[in-house]
Amino acid sequence: MTEIRTQYIEPVMFICEAKDGPVRTGHRMRAREFAALTGARSFRCEACGEIHTWTTETAWLGINTRVAA
């Protein structure tokens, strides 16, 4: 089932502390691309307007899926 999931392009999600909930980062990618990322990425949060920085350790793929670290 994991191989099927890697074919989908999914939104990268992040927890906004101001909203106290998940927000989309504006990035979308496949699981294998997400897993290969290094370093940090930034985005302007649609919920609070601030700039947040995320890594593969602080973000996850999919709207309803939160992968445990």
pLDDT (0 to 100) of residue 65? 61
- Alpha-carbon dihedral angle through residues 61, 28, 40, 43, given to the nearest 10 degrees: -110
pLDDT tens string 1-58? 455 554 789 999 999 999 889 999 999 999 999 999 999 999 999 999 999 999 999 9
Write out the two tokens for 3.
């191989």
pLDDT (0 to 100) of residue 8? 86
pLDDT (0 to 100) of residue 56? 96
pLDDT (0 to 100) of residue 36? 96
Tally of CB atoms within 10 A around 26: 13
Domain ranges of the chain: 2-61
pLDDT bucket at 69, cuts 50 / 70 / 90: very low
Pairing of strands 59-61, 51-54: unpaired
